[in-house]
Amino acid sequence: MTNLQIRQGKVFGSLEGDTVRKVVRKSKHLFRKWDSWGIDCDFFDEMVEAGAKVLQILDKEEKVLYTIEMDEEWAGWKRDWGWGEQYFIPRRYFKHEDFEG
C-alpha cells in the first residue's frame, strides 16, 4: 500500500510498508554545498513514528537509487534554506545502485 505524503500541494514522498520513497532530480534537488539530499524534518520524523525503517531516494535524472536505514547514524545537518526545516544527509552514507526505469 502506498501512502503519499502531500503538503501544500507538494509530494514529500510515499510510505510503502516500512520503506519511505522519495523521487528527485539531482540537478534540482541535490544540495551541492554538502553533497547531500534534503528531506523535510517533520516528514522524516512522522515516517519514523509510523514505523518506517528504510529511506530510498530515487534520482530519476541519473537513474540511481540511494538507500539508507532511517535510524542509521549519519553526520547530517538540519537547516531551513527557505523550504522549511530539512535534514541533509550526505550521499556518502547511502548505499547506491543503478536502476532501469
Containing 95, the helix (H) or strand (E) segment is strand 95-98
pLDDT at 28: 92
Taking 70 as the pLDDT cut, the residues of the chain under it are 1-11, 75, 101
pLDDT at 59: 96
Report the alpha-carbon distance of residue 97 to residue 58 in Å, rounded.
Answer: 10
DSSP 18: T
As a whole number, the mean pLDDT across the chain is 87
Say what the pTM is. 0.85
With a CB cutoff of 8 Å and minimum separation 6, the contacts of 35 are: 90, 91, 92
With a CB cutoff of 8 Å and minimum separation 6, the contacts of 28 are: none
pLDDT at 1: 41
